Amino acid sequence: MTSTTERRDIVVGIDPVKNGHMALAWAADEAHLRGVGLRLVVAVPPQHDTQHVDDTPRHLAQRQAGTEALRTALAWAHARQPDIEATSSLLDGFPAASLAARSSQAGLIVLGSRHLSRPAEFLSAGSLVVPVTAKAHCPVVVVGDAEHVTQETPYLVVGVDGSESSRAALAWAFEEADLRRCALRAVAVWQPPVFTLHGGDTLFSAERRLLSETTAGWAERHPDVRLTHEVRIGSPVETLADAAEHALAVVVGRRGRGGYSGMRVGSVVHGLLHRAHCPVITVPVV
């Protein structure tokens, strides 16, 4: 797992088509908070190999648009956080593959969301969120809407189910909460079995005990983080999204090896990318 304490730069994918100031603001603020560099990236796909159509004008136009988008974004990032070290790169290659490749040396990859439909996520050339989230070596942050303004104490939500991937998410969430000096809500979602020999109250208590035991070690390492435990009943996606309605972000582990092209995005991650209004942070098991 990539620790938030490591001084690795934050990489943010700049979309030449859409204003991505929400993602850029999140990335710039996070770079300032951590004291690390910010790397702005646009990747331009290669020219089509065809004998009948000259693709050079389109390719040059894409490069020009990418260069202009980087120039504008870089100025905007410096205006928001003047003291961060921010640089930009125009890369040659398919965007998703280029960003995933850079993730091995990054502390975070930050992306904006176009809120594409599920088919478009896999068929659109502009889709980055699912393939980068699936293949990145570091945590990926997807910023769709603005951070909510609320009277509540700022908090993060982390989904916990006892799996290796959720333990990685829990460790990362504790470090991030400590860094942000905010509260952390550890949420387990319980779906009662249809048939069981044990009473519902007994099973629910066991789930609460497991959640408490899972978080205990990390709570001791981060005594300044105000931790709460919640076991809720319902659909994992809907329950986590509701718990994080006014959160700074929701943090989940990445798992699942089926689906399209072997992409390792589980159903909960995939659902939250569509449902959650706050940033979604997906942590891989490394």
- pLDDT 10s digits, 160-172: 988 889 899 999 9
Check residue 262 and report its DSSP letter. G
pLDDT, residue 181, reads 94
pLDDT, residue 281, reads 96
pLDDT, residue 20, reads 73
Residues of the chain predicted below pLDDT 50: 1-5, 119-126, 197, 199, 256-263
pLDDT, residue 250, reads 96
> How wide is the angle at C-alpha 32 spanned by C-alphas 37 and 248, nearest 5°?
120
Regarding beta strands 38-44 and 10-13, do their DSSP bridges make them parallel or antiparallel, or are they unpaired? parallel
pLDDT, residue 255, reads 73
pLDDT, residue 120, reads 47
Edge-to-edge strand ranges of the sheet holding 38-44:
86-92, 38-44, 10-13, 108-112, 140-143, 280-283, 249-253, 155-159, 183-190, 227-233
